[in-house]
Amino acid sequence: MAYENRNAAYDLSLFDQASAAPLPKRDEEVEKVKEPKKKTGKKVISLPEEELHKIRKRRHNPLKVALGTIGGAAVAMIIATIIIGQVRITELNQQIITAKETLSNAQSVYTQTEMSLQAKLSSSDIEKYAENQLGLTKASSSQQEFVSLSGGDKAEVTSPESENLFTQFISSIANLWS
């Protein structure tokens, strides 16, 4: 296929019925192209003035207009409800973020206070305060009392108070075999 260097995209004469050349088939045979029959007659339809005024002054069905208005209002209310809901969700998310920041600040203040309290209340500081301010001393061996148990540990087994005849009979048979 040889490509001709011409501007075929702008060549409008290719689309004319009279100048259109038949296209070759695959096996390079050329058939005669039948030209379509030209229709004769008017292509423009004229309407009387009365019908033109009826078309131009078309009356709308009041029921359809009312239903369309109600439907449009319902859609607008649904969209407004969705928008208001999204605004509320955004506000609540901002409140949650603010509360989380407040909580983290309070936790850091608590940790700092706890660390300073631990630093002030070491065991050596407590002992010094007890000796100097309260007049306490460490326990000596004379203040220690020892407790002794003379009898040792004992264990008692109790039997249920309300035994019926059947359980007594079973326990007596069990005692025979033991």
For residue range 2-13, list pLDDT tens digits in order: 555 556 566 666
**Contact criterion met (CB below 8 Å) for 56 and 50:** no
CA 129 to chain centre: 58
pLDDT tens-digit series, residues 97-152: 999 999 999 999 999 999 888 877 777 878 888 888 888 888 777 777 777 766 66
Q: For residue 80, what pLDDT is reported?
A: 97
| Other CB atoms within 10 A of residue 80 CB | 10
Contact 49, 38 (CB under 8 A): no
CA dihedral sign, ordered 166, 172, 177, 178:
positive
- What's the CA gap between 178 and 24, in Å, rounded? 119
CA–CA separation, 37 and 159 (whole Å):
123
**Where does the pLDDT of residue 22 fall: very low under 50, low under 70, confident under 90, or very high at 90 and above?**
low
- The pLDDT assigned to 87 comes to 96
Q: How many helices (H) and strands (E) does the chain have?
A: 4, 0
Mean pLDDT estimate for the chain = 77
Predicted model pTM: 0.36
- Position 15 confidence tier, pLDDT thresholds 50, 70, 90: low
